[in-house]
A and B are shown apart, each in its own frame.
Chain A
Amino acid sequence: MRVDLYRIDKLVDLMGEILILQEEIKNSLTFNKETNCLSKLEVITQELQENIISMRAHPIDLAFQRMRKVVREAARLSNKEVDLILEGEKTSIDRSILEAIIDPLTHMVRNSVDHGIENSEIRKLNFKPIKGKIYLRAFHISGRVIIEVEDDGCGLSKSKIIKKAKNNDIITDEKNLTEMDIYNLIFSSGFSTSEAVSNLSGRGVGMDIVKREIDKVGGKISISSEENKGTKFRLSLPLTLSVMEGILLRVNSKNFIIPISDVMETFDIDYSKIIKIKDEVSIYKYRNEYVSVFNIKHLFNEGNILPRVGVCVVSEYGLKYIIAVDEIVDKNRFVIKSIEKNYKNVGGFSSSTILGDGSVSLIVDVNFFAKKIENNSKLGEYCE
């Protein structure tokens, strides 16, 4: 049976409205402590929601099959022999996310053929099988869809990346860069590690756009690579774009939400473990590690008093830091509402939601503040 996508979209919207209404009812009922029937409603809405979301889901095969042609074409143009191995084609993924990742995926697969896999002479010299291999995998892990693009090619060359980044004025100094930082440089705009511009991967406007497209659907991208062994790109995507699990917190009597997928732990801040470095930079001794503290009150120009609850979050590049807030109100599922639809992309907040009382609450973009913290701490070292 085929169902018009528009109708499903409408159902998803209605589902969102029910969720919001449910919160509203919950708010008004808490006085009477009559929550038994409410928890039943919660179970039903969750089930209904999962069903609707699964209606929107499609097997990833749709995208993977296209990649066969991409690999064939790319291999022909670059005179290489490449095998594409698909795994987990049946993994389901939201239709709109599926559509959004086809272009970035095409680009990444092309890159793997063009820059990753070596030509047969070099492969022979390195005792590798003449035919290169590209793996395309998909699977579900803790409420997210993971897609991996892996090749057994030459791997990313750190020295080449640094050289290129310096030539393109992306960095001035490679000191203090971790392996991860170096790999992530390829996502900077105007970057290409290939010495010559090839007619296949184009002019190196690629990876930054790939990242932007993945960002748009709330995805994360990470790289692991070993020289002469190969490179693996890993996309982590949300299951749906309509609902997200998060914790609701309060700062200066204003509500914010942090997506649960970014949160590691919440705890009471022990003031004796705080080391203040300068005005806006302090670090906290957290489980035998020193991590930066981000006081959300800085956003309201009231950063002097540090709130007492810490939320330890981790950014897409693995930077761990603590967001200090006044209190944690609730853990719940929230209906995602776009800010961009009627305004534009705002730094620091990826989207918004509507709470039970009808007010708008902003969803914190953990990666945005991670970048800020990184810049701040770099500045700190520079000043010393």
Chain B
Amino acid sequence: MNKDLVFKCGDHYFSYNISFIKEIKEWITPTVLPSTTKYIEGFINIRGEIIPVFDFMEIIKEEKQSNKKALIVVDCLNKLVAFSVFSVSDIIEYDHISNAPNNFVDGMNYINGIIENDNRSIFSINLIKLVEKVMVGE
């Protein structure tokens, strides 16, 4: 049985494996990093740690989201990073995950597969690949 944290961004549901999740916070304005590096919004302070904030929507769809209400802080690849998302829904348990259709292009690389739950199609995100991507930032 796997456990995922489900969150909403745009019209879709996504999920991270629960083992990576450090904490969920209300969205706070990060200190902007003036640079041309992609995806990074800025930095926030969580109990004395400087944590970079990335726009989840921008990584997946290459478009900035205007409606951000939550921050998901994850511990991945020995780094603490935060992703801004629209809202955090719930935690689900599942044992079946189906492959994403081949014609699903957006953010294809970061998707483990699709979980069907409660009449929702949830895109399960491969967080390691996602974090690798934002660390490079092109």
Would A300 and B34 count as touching, CB distance under 8 A? yes
Chain B, Cβ-Cβ closest to A16: B48
B97 within 8 A of A: no
Q: What sequence of 0s and 1s flags, for each residue 15-47 of chain B, a beta carbon within 8 Å of any chain A beta carbon?
A: 000000000000000111111010010111100
- The B interface, classified by DSSP as helix, strand, loop or mixed, is strand
Would B31 and A342 count as touching, CB distance under 8 A? no
Give the residues in chain B near A254, CB-CB below 8 Å.
Answer: 31-32
Which of these binds chain B: A173-181, A229-237, A259-267, A351-359? A351-359
Measured CA separation A270–B82 after assembly (Å) = 43
Measured CA separation A347–B40 after assembly (Å) = 13
B79 within 8 A of A: yes
Give the residues in chain A near B91, CB-CB below 8 Å.
Answer: none
B58 to chain A, nearest CB (A): 16
Would B50 and A338 count as touching, CB distance under 8 A? yes
A3 within 8 A of B: no
B49 within 8 A of A: yes
Residues 332-384 of A at the B interface (beta carbon under 8 Å): 337-339, 341-344, 346-349, 352, 354, 358-362
Chain B, Cβ-Cβ closest to A339: B50
A145 to chain B, nearest CB (A): 26
B66 to chain A, nearest CB (A): 19
B108 within 8 A of A: no
Chain A, Cβ-Cβ closest to B52: A343
B51 within 8 A of A: yes
Measured CA separation A352–B43 after assembly (Å) = 9
Chain A, Cβ-Cβ closest to B30: A360
A277 within 8 A of B: no
> Which of B31, B34, B80, B135 has the most chain A CB atoms closer than 10 A to its own CB?
B34
Contacts A360-B31, A362-B33; is A343 near B48 (CB within 8 Å)?
Answer: no
Give the residues in chain A near B52, CB-CB below 8 Å.
Answer: 339, 342-343
A284 to chain B, nearest CB (A): 22
Chain A, Cβ-Cβ closest to B50: A337
Chain A to chain B: the 6 pairs with minimum beta-carbon distance, closest first: A299-B34, A360-B31, A343-B52, A360-B43, A337-B50, A342-B79
What residues of chain A have their CB less than 8 Å away from a CB belonging to chain B? 13, 16-17, 20, 254-255, 299-300, 337-339, 341-344, 346-349, 352, 354, 358-362
Sample 18 A-B pairs with CB under 8 A, ordered by A number. Answer: A13-B48, A20-B48, A339-B43, A341-B49, A341-B50, A342-B49, A342-B50, A342-B79, A342-B81, A343-B52, A344-B135, A346-B33, A346-B35, A346-B37, A352-B31, A352-B50, A354-B45, A358-B45
